[in-house]
Amino acid sequence: MRKTAVTAQRTGMIPAQAGPRDRAETESEVTRDTPTAPEPTGSGADAHFVIPGAGPAVRPGERPTVRLREDGPEEQPRYAPEWLELREPADAGARALDLLDPLRIRLANLPGKAGVVIHDLGCGTGSMGRWLAPRLDGAQHWVLHDRDPYLLHFAAVASPRVAADGSRVTVETRRGDVARLTSDALAGASLVTASALLDVLTREEIDTLAAACTGAGCPALLTLSVAGRVDIGPADPMDDEIAEAFNEHQRRGGLLGPDAITAACEAFSERGATVRLNPSPWRLGPAEAALTAQWLRGWVGAAVEQRPELRERADRYLRERLAACEAGELNVVVHHTDLLALSRPTGGPA
């Protein structure tokens, strides 16, 4: 694991059209050193196993955000690539396509023809770029931000090579702290993106993000913020109780959790941006059983961490839900919201 963290510090410009041999060698490094999480199933003793990132932080008091203390010691990753890989198809199927047309119009009207520069905050393994870059025309340069060099390496290796019209896509990586993001750091940016980020930020951090984007005059596409609502079929009397406790857990330490999307709307609107919202729910059925099982473990685990008095009943609830999931009898809708904020252009170059 430590070897991977060192190897992953390969940052800087990585052309998307790198040769097959170069990319294969890099990918083999990642595959060789990637920690492989077991895939527990059913309702046995492993029912509470949670891939890092799917549930509560392993160490009490930790915040699973993209923040980085640059003067501190190296920390273990808080999001396992296995979790990000598991959720990527559901994320891709959930993101709101309706927000892309107004975004394309804005990007098409940018001054100059040199292409667009896109900053992806908390990029993880780069799923946002893999989803969005092939849906936009023209040359693109992606600047990937994350606190974890291991995940940055994954994102760079698996970056898309071409845009929708065959134009070149390039990428660079940066370790950084979104809480200290400024409009100067976004100078020249055409777009800021993030996925599943807003709900793990505080109100102050969202204000900082909105100020940086509007100050730079660039739009922001912020997807998959939790809405605080879950629909499970067949229903169980404990569904609402678990959901309520989970939402309380999401708000720990001043984080906004399901309140983040409202806070972001206010922060961008107060700074003159036009804000559009679209639902982006995960729809999980028998074909997504592996993701559903991990999500259930994390969802129930966070609820119990918030309300320990639920443990005995929640253990029963989780065992029954996992058994139904394994039998292909469970359907889950996890509600999210996507936000597009169109800031007033500053008139500078894109």
pLDDT above 90 as % of the chain: 65
Between these two residues, 188 and 180, which has the higher pLDDT value?
Answer: 188
Judge contact between 55 and 242, C-beta under 8 A. no
220-279 tens-digit pLDDT? 999 999 999 999 999 999 999 999 999 999 999 999 999 999 999 999 999 999 999 999
| 179-190: average pLDDT | 84
Helices (H), 37-146: 81-94, 100-108, 127-132
What is the per-residue pLDDT for 344?
86
| Residue among 190, 199, 216 at smallest CA distance from 271 | 216
16-49 tens-digit pLDDT? 333 333 333 333 333 333 333 334 434 343 555 6
Whole-angstrom distance, CA of residue 144 vs CA of residue 137 = 19
Judge contact between 157 and 169, C-beta under 8 A. no
Angle between helices 260-270 and 203-216 (to 10 degrees): 40
Taking every pair of C-alpha atoms in the chain, what is the biggest distance, in angstroms?
Answer: 62
Between these two residues, 108 and 317, which has the higher pLDDT value?
Answer: 317
User: How sure is the predictor about 53, in pLDDT bands with cuts at 50, 70 and 90?
Assistant: low
What is the per-residue pLDDT for 100?
97
What is the per-residue pLDDT for 266?
98
Q: In Å, what is the CA distance from 243 to each residue of 33, 49, 76, 247, 298?
A: 36, 19, 29, 6, 12
Write out the H or E segment, with its range, that includes residue 144.
strand 140-146
Residue 14 pairs in a beta bridge with 171
